[in-house]
Amino acid sequence: MNKLETIQKKEIAGAALLLAIFILPIISLAGSYEEIFVNDNASGKQDGSYSHPYSTISKAIKEAEGKTKIIVKSGTYKENIIVPSKVKIIGKDKRKTIIKAKDSSKPVVILKNKAEIMKVTINGGRYGVKIKDGKKGEITIVDCHIKKAKRDGINIDRGEKDSQRKVNIIDSKIYENGKSGIYSQRRRLVIMDSEIFDNKLDGIDIEESSKAYISKNKIYKNNGVGIKIRLDNANSTIRKNGIFKNEKDGIEVRSGGHKGEITIKKNDIVKNERFGIVKLLNKNYGNTNFSGLAVENNNNFWKNDDGNISGIIKIFKR
């Protein structure tokens, strides 16, 4: 059983309401897929077969038609790739299968709707991964290392919040990027079982009107906030994460005056250099706009320098 299918079974065993709202259906690897093989040491005849693999991922993508798995042997591939719909990039070893930006001014990997990438290291580029909006289809990143991008490790375009446009980021490490580990415009998101650390700005930064399920991650030692999230028109849950040793707040919840719902429960929020949770309000609005923020008593707070939960702090919008 592969990792993605294992995660799917774990999710099915969870709370029915959360499954209905956030998680199902996680993309399945079931179904008939063609296979194309890539080996950076390939020479001579190259037709994408196991015996005669292509030497670049780009060549394999060019030859892919419809539902295709591109299986990439360990090696360093200096490329910028665009993964089209219904194509899966699968590395043989995430630590040794490295896609490194050939052009550092562009994303290393662009994922379009119904694309997947797993078991690779993505190194450098303007963004490590750029996720484009598409008409339909989930996008999935599983068991990857994404590091040393000039800007965000993963940068996600605005999209509708329906399940058919969901972005899944699972069991990955996102670190040492020049801005945030993950930055998302309005989108439906599942971020699970990942480590997000040592980024120059925030660990996770999610814009307003998003529907996010953030669970069982370690988010630590980022130079900004652990998780930055907007309350406006949100419907999000933050649960069972370790959020610690960030240079600003553990979680920043910001309101621009619109209603939304964010639930924060069962997290360890520890040793952040400002508040455990800070509430920031655009100064043009009253104090009632945090009524949709639920911080449950089952969170564990410890040694956050400015306190566990702030009062409402009015700010200029930025």
pLDDT digits (tens, 9 = 90+) for 65-77: 889 999 999 999 9
Determine how many CB atoms are found less than 10 A away from the CB of residue 190: 23
The C-alpha atoms of residue 184 and residue 154 are separated, in whole angstroms, by: 8
20-31+74-315 has which CATH code? 2.160.20
Q: Are 92 and 121 in contact (CB under 8 A)?
A: no
Tokens of 74: 């360990």
pLDDT per residue over 112-161, tens digit each?
889 999 999 999 999 999 998 756 779 999 999 999 999 999 999 988 77
Determine how many CB atoms are found less than 10 A away from the CB of residue 289: 20
pTM of the model: 0.90
Of 254, 305, 260, the closest CA to residue 278 belongs to 254
Q: 290 vs 24, which has greater pLDDT?
A: 290
Q: Is 236 left (phi over 0), alpha (psi -120 to 50) or beta?
A: beta
Q: 9 vs 189, which has greater pLDDT?
A: 189
Give domain limits for the chain.
Answer: 20-31+74-315
Percent of the chain exceeding pLDDT 70 equals: 86
- Report which residue type is found at 266: K
Determine how many CB atoms are found less than 10 A away from the CB of residue 291: 12
Which residues partner with 68 through β-bridges?
34, 87
The C-alpha atoms of residue 35 and residue 115 are separated, in whole angstroms, by: 15
Does position 35 have pLDDT exceeding 80, yes or no? yes
pLDDT of residue 192: 98
pLDDT of residue 257: 82
